[in-house]
Amino acid sequence: MGGKKIRIVLTPGETLPDVDVWLVVDLLRASSTAVAFFEHGGKKILPVSSVEEARRLKANLGDNWILMGERKALPIEGFDLGNSPLAFEYVHLKDKAGAVMTTSNGTLAYLKAASTGKAVFVAAARNAYHAARRALKLKDTVGILCAGKEGRLALDDCLCAGLLLEEILKMAGNVDLDDGAKVVSALWEFYGKDLEKGVYMSESAKLLMELGMKEDIEYCCKVNCSFVVPTVVLLEGRPCLLLQE
């Protein structure tokens, strides 16, 4: 699989390069939560940008859908769930048609990647190997979009991008890296390729720690323990996360 190109976008506010496939990363926590959702039998996720849109869409879809999301890492008033990947231990997702989801950063990144019309996969530490493998099967140029934090760079996402890049390099060998990929690679090396060590230095992790959500961080930092790779597709004209073979 020679001749591959990797383009890494560190914040969603940047102009997106032309790629064949996107891996979207919001390590803490939207990507990790999406992976967990499907691991626990969830059928589909409709990502939206605002709380108001989420409520309107849920009202139209009916009671068989759940509302989930966060603002500033906290559950939204009136929503069924927040943005914790651990919450699905207590919810029977198989009985639900799907979920409407809005988060501070991750869902916006899903929507931006989907707007390019290219293939989009949701990537996290837990599914890094399988996400990288799926992306490499599609043509030559792989883009990694980091969701960031309120429009700024997020260390945790950059480190997860470094992990994904390492998985890609193991599989693809000769790869052309842009400057974003070189920055991410340097960060990954700087923290000794220790995802959890680096993530705890991030603003996102510090906020979750202050809110008593250390278990969420530990869960999100586990590497290559899931084969689930959600795909973002258009369903009746609306971006939708689901599982495809």
Tens of pLDDT, residue by residue over 184-231, are 999 999 999 999 999 999 999 999 999 999 999 999 999 999 999 999
Tens of pLDDT, residue by residue over 35-93, are 999 999 999 999 999 999 999 999 999 999 999 999 999 999 999 999 999 999 989 99
In a domain, 17, yes or no: yes
In a domain, 62, yes or no: no
The most confident of 48-57, 90-99, 132-141, by mean pLDDT: 48-57
User: Over 60: is that where the pLDDT of 1 sits?
Assistant: no
Would you place residue 157 in the very low, low, confident or very high pLDDT band (cuts 50, 70, 90)? Answer: very high
In a domain, 53, yes or no: no
User: Over 80: is that where the pLDDT of 245 sits?
Assistant: no
In a domain, 16, yes or no: yes
pLDDT value at residue 151? 95
Distance CA 45, CA 66 (A): 9
Would you place residue 2 in the very low, low, confident or very high pLDDT band (cuts 50, 70, 90)? Answer: low
Give the global pTM: 0.96
In a domain, 37, yes or no: yes
In a domain, 31, yes or no: yes
In a domain, 217, yes or no: yes
In a domain, 61, yes or no: no
How many structural domains is the chain composed of?
1
The rounded percent of the chain whose pLDDT value lies above 70 is 99
CATH of the domain at 23: 3.90.1560.10
User: Over 50: is that where the pLDDT of 109 sits?
Assistant: yes
pLDDT value at residue 173? 84
Q: Domain range spanning residue 155?
A: 4-42+106-242
Please say whether the beta carbons of 128 and 77 come within 8 A.
Answer: no
